[in-house]
């Protein structure tokens, strides 16, 4: 999943392209590159390994200038992280191309292109695309027709943009899978993987559909659909804030975003509650009709968002709504038995996760009563593809490790469970009780954040560990999974989560005095069961680190460190117990000195499968 930005401008475009890359860096930061057509009608390119700031440094030393250009930030799929594998790729010194996605038949194409005498300079799948366009140009096709012919020969999922040195002022873009937007201004045109990259130049944009090829010449843009017929795509006006997120007094975005959680949740709740009821309209104007027809819920998501779904399953099934939760990358390729009355719910911070989008498409193909998305980005693909939308109002989340959007998505899913509970015989007293607890969330989150100093001290123990186990039971098992994911993601410590009752079925063999075992222990119906599981760990000389309710009876002793979490109702406990685990992973990463906001090998938004 890479980020593409391109422009045909009246004046120099290199500043716009660089700013676009900064805004798209969440899609990948293995390497970055830019190409422009200079005043003499030649391609000038710069590429660097690492983050966009490396490219910025290179361009300060050797600036590029031109009114037409392309840029790219890469998350490596085919071919290692190197300057030669960085985009833009160039063929014959005249044709430059950037691509986001995967070309599945690249090996066969590479073979036939080599036979045709073309030389390769990279190991990427993308280089075959620029060569293929070039071959079609050689055969007399016009640039846009050459791109169309190439698209028809490619298997896979990709979005691309191409410029030719002989045609300054022209850019051709195409989409077959990952999103690609056209930015429209009075005298100029732009292309980008998302709206953020366009905002410094324009708010007006069109969304290319699958199979579209857009032929941009200055301010004019002709789009042809997959059948080659001219089409008009709606011009939207973005209402998204153009400002990038600021770090303020914090050391990292992750830390800032953890501390923003009380505000993110209270903003997410604003106008969603009336007295002691949840407003059904919070999910969209069609919510009543779709929820009336809902017999079960199918939740689809990836990573942290998947964990939010697993927590939601407990809430939904508690109120009598059958619920399945699926990892999107598995669901999309599995055969399913369709179930009548299914509401499909996707959860996604970005709204652009390729697997989740594809899984939603598959669920719709099976037949659903409606599609609801819980999302943090209003102008995103999943929002466009859904009938109902619950927006989390977190503001931009910059840290690759999701924090505030996880907590806010869970809050939205708890509201969903309440709205559906009305249709399953739960009375208004039940809803009123839970709504009352939900209103305490911002304060309870503040109280959990106040544990930071004690957690920072606890983190010392973890910094030289290679492994850790995380335990939880019931709705807190997904919280343990999330804690383990956070630790893996930003401190590169191998961490596994288990339902505490499952330890004795195998994982207990891993436990010895070197294995730290973290557990979340709210004072719920399973607390005594959990305590027995913790004793099993102690009996094997395991070292316990517990986040526990004071009423649990769990106290620190020689082999057990307990940090008490202020008491909370079990309805909201999973949301609150998330915070200490986020802080633990953050402080371990601080001690280890890893790149907290941009951990190695990852990207904020995963737009390839």
Answer yes or no whether residue 353 interacts with ligand M6R by CB under 6 A.
Answer: yes
Contacts of 111 (CB under 8 A, 6+ apart): none
268 part of the interface to ligand M6R, by CB under 6 A: no
Q: Residue 35 or 375: which CB sits closer to ligand M6R?
A: 375
Q: CB-based contacts of 27: which residues, under 8 Å, 6+ apart?
A: 1, 2, 3, 73, 75, 100, 193, 603, 604, 605, 607
State the SS3 of 206-217. EECCCCCEEEEE
Q: Pick from 143, 119, 120: which is nearest to 133 by CA?
A: 143
Q: Is 578 in the site for ligand M6R (CB under 6 A)?
A: no
- Shortest CB 524 distance to ligand M6R, Å: 25
Q: Tell me 334's DSSP state.
A: S
By CB under 6 A, tell whether 357 contacts ligand M6R: no
The answer to whether 585 and 577 have CB atoms below 8 angstroms apart is: no
- Part of the chain binding ligand M6R (CB under 6 A), chosen from 39-47, 155-163, 344-352, 514-522: 344-352
Q: Is residue 305 involved in binding ligand M6R (CB under 6 A)?
A: yes
Is 161 within 8 Å of 4 (Cβ atoms)?
A: yes
Site for ligand M6R (CB under 6 A): which residue of 13, 31, 193, 304? Answer: 304
Q: Which of 31, 421, 605, 607 binds ligand M6R (CB under 6 A)?
A: 605
Looking at the Cβ atoms of 97 and 302, the one nearer to ligand M6R is 302
Using the rule CB under 6 A, is 71 a contact of ligand M6R? Answer: no
Residue nearest to ligand M6R (CB): 303
Shortest spacing between CB 410 and ligand M6R, in angstroms: 12
Q: Minimal distance in Å, beta carbon 398 to ligand M6R?
A: 12
Q: Find the binder of ligand M6R among 126, 132, 350, 585 (CB under 6 A).
A: 350
For residue 332, the minimal CB distance to ligand M6R (Å) is 14
Is residue 257 near ligand M6R by the rule CB under 6 A?
Answer: no
Instruction: Return the closest-CA partner of residue 307 out of 485, 523, 570.
Output: 485
**Is the distance from CB of 478 to CB of 327 less than 8 angstroms?**
no
Does position 3 bind ligand M6R by CB under 6 A? no
Residues linked to residue 3 through DSSP beta bridges, in sequence order: 73
Residue 596 engages ligand M6R in binding (rule: CB under 6 A) = no
**How far is residue 175's CA from residue 225's CA, in Å, rounded to a whole number?**
10
Asked if 176 interacts with ligand M6R (CB under 6 A), we say no
User: 176 or 605, CB closer to ligand M6R?
Assistant: 605
Q: Cβ distance 607 to 1 under 8 Å?
A: yes
The residue among 350 and 411 lying less far from ligand M6R, judged by its C-beta, is: 350
Q: Which of 174, 176, 238, 180 is nearest to 204 (CA)?
A: 238
Contacts of 386 (CB under 8 A, 6+ apart): 346, 360, 371, 372, 373
Query: Please, are residues 439 and 411 in contact by the beta-carbon 8 Å criterion?
Result: no
Look at the block and give the residue holding tokens 């805004």: 23
Distance between CA atoms of residues 238 and 203, nearest Å? 5
**380 interacts with ligand M6R by CB under 6 A:** no
Q: Which residue in 51, 486, 598, 604 is the catalytic one?
A: 604
Size of the site for ligand M6R (CB under 6 A): 16
Site string for ligand M6R, 389-418 (x = CB under 6 A): -----------xxx----------------
Q: Toward ligand M6R, which CB reaches closer, 66 or 178?
A: 178
Which candidate in 2, 221, 302, 323 is catalytic? 2
Structure letter (DSSP) for residue 503: G
The structure tokens listed for 137 are 């140009």
CB 265 to ligand M6R: min, Å: 17
For the CB of residue 270, give the shortest distance to ligand M6R in the complex, in Å: 22
Please, what is the minimum distance in Å from the beta carbon of residue 333 to ligand M6R?
Answer: 18
Q: Is 221 a catalytic residue?
A: no
- Binding to ligand M6R by residue 73, rule CB under 6 A? no
User: Please, what is the minimum distance in Å from the beta carbon of residue 53 to ligand M6R?
Assistant: 21
483 binds ligand M6R (CB under 6 A): no
Q: If residue 508 lies in a helix (H) or strand (E), which one and from where to where?
A: none
Which residue, 49 or 354, is less far from ligand M6R as judged by CB? 354
In angstroms, what is the minimal distance from the CB of 552 to ligand M6R? 28
- Closest to ligand M6R by CB, 206 or 356: 356
196 sits near ligand M6R (criterion: CB under 6 A):
no
**C-alpha distances in angstroms, 490 versus 353, 400, 409, 568, 586?**
20, 9, 21, 28, 7
Give me the phi and psi of 467, to 5 degrees please: -140, 155
Burial class (CB in 10 A: 0-12, 13-18, 19+), 525: exposed
Closest CA to 410 of 444, 441, 451, 450: 441
523 interacts with ligand M6R by CB under 6 A = no
Is there a catalytic annotation at residue 2? yes
Distance CA 536, CA 588 (A): 26
Q: Which residue lies nearer to ligand M6R by CB, 346 or 552?
A: 346
Measured from the CB atom, the residue of 401 and 480 that comes closer to ligand M6R is 401
- Please, what is the minimum distance in Å from the beta carbon of residue 585 to ligand M6R? 10
Work out the number of other CB atoms within 10 angstroms of the CB of residue 388.
20
Q: Which is nearer to ligand M6R, 126 or 348 (CB)?
A: 348
Identify whether the C-beta of residue 96 lies closer than 8 Å to the C-beta of residue 35.
yes
What is 199-249 written as a DSSP string?
Answer: TTT-SEEEEPPTT-EEEEETTEEEEE-TTS-EE--PPEE--S--PPP--TT
Residue range at the interface with ligand M6R (CB under 6 A); choices 124-132, 302-310, 503-511, 535-543 = 302-310
The site for ligand M6R (CB under 6 A) is made up of 302-305, 348-350, 353, 356, 400-402, 485, 489, 605-606
Catalytic positions: 2, 604
């Amino acid at each position: 999943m890479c980020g593409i930005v391109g422009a045909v401008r009246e004046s120099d475009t290199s500043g716009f392209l660089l700013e676009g890359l900064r805004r798209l860096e969440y899609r990948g930061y293995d390497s970055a590159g830019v190409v422009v057509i200079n005043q003499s009608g030649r391609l000038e390119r710069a590429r660097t390994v690492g983050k966009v700031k490396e490219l910025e440094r290179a361009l300060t030393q050797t600036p590029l200038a031109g009114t037409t250009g392309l840029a790219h930030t890469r998350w490596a799929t085919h071919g290692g992280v190197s300057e030669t594998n960085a985009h833009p790729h160039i063929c014959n010194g005249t044709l430059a191309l950037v691509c986001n996605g995967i070309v599945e038949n690249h090996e066969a194409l590479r073979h036939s292109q080599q036979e045709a005498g073309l030389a390769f300079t990279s190991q990427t799948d993308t280089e075959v695309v620029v060569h293929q366009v070039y071959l079609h140009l050689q055969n007399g096709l016009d640039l846009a027709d050459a791109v169309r012919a190439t698209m028809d020969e490619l298997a896979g999922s990709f979005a691309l943009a191409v410029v030719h040195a002989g045609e300054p002022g022209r850019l051709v873009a195409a989409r077959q899978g990952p999103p690609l937007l056209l930015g429209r201004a009075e005298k100029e045109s732009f292309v980008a993987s998302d709206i953020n990259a366009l905002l410094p130049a324009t708010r007006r944009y069109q969304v290319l559909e699958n199979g579209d090829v857009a032929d941009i010449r200055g301010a004019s843009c002709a789009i042809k659909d997959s059948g080659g017929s001219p089409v008009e795509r709606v011009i939207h006006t973005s209402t998204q804030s153009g400002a990038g997120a600021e770090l303020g007094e914090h050391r990292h975005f992750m830390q800032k975003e953890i501390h923003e959680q009380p505000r993110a949740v209270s903003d997410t709740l604003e106008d969603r509650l009336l007295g002691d009821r949840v407003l059904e309209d919070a999910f969209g104007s069609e919510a009543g009709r779709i929820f009336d027809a809902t017999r079960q819920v199918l939740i689809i998501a990836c990573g942290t968002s998947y964990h939010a779904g697993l927590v939601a399953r407990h809430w939904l099934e508690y109120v009598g709504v059958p619920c399945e939760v699926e990892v999107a990358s598995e669901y999309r390729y599995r055969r399913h038995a369709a179930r009548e009355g299914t509401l499909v719910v996707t959860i996604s911070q970005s709204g652009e996760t390729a697997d989740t989008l594809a899984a939603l498409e598959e669920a719709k193909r099976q037949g659903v009563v409606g599609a609801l998305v819980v999302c943090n980005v209003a102008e995103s693909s999943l929002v466009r593809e859904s009938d109902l939308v619950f927006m989390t109002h977190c503001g931009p989340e910059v840290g690759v490790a999701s924090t505030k959007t996880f907590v806010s998505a869970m809050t939205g899913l708890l509201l969903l469970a309440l709205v559906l509970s009305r249709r399953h015989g739960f009375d208004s007293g039940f809803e009123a009780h839970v709504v009352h607890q939900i209103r305490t969330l911002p304060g309870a989150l503040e109280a959990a954040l106040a544990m930071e100093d004690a957690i920072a001290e606890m983190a010392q123990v973890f910094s030289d560990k290679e492994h850790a186990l995380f335990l939880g039971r019931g709705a807190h098992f997904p919280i343990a999974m999330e804690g383990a994911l956070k630790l893996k993601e930003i401190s590169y410590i191998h961490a596994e989560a288990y339902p505490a009752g499952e330890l004795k079925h195998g994982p207990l063999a891993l436990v010895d005095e070197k294995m730290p075992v973290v557990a979340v222990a709210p004072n719920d119906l399973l607390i005594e069961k959990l305590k027995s599981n913790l004793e099993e760990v102690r009996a094997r000389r395991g070292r316990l680190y517990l986040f526990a309710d004071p009423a649990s009876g769990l106290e620190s002793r020689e082999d057990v460190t307990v940090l008490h979490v202020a008491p909370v109702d079990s309805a909201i406990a999973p949301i609150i117990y998330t915070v200490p685990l986020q802080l633990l992973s953050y402080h371990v990463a601080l001690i280890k000195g890893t790149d907290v906001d941009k951990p190695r090998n990852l990207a904020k938004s995963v737009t390839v499968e």
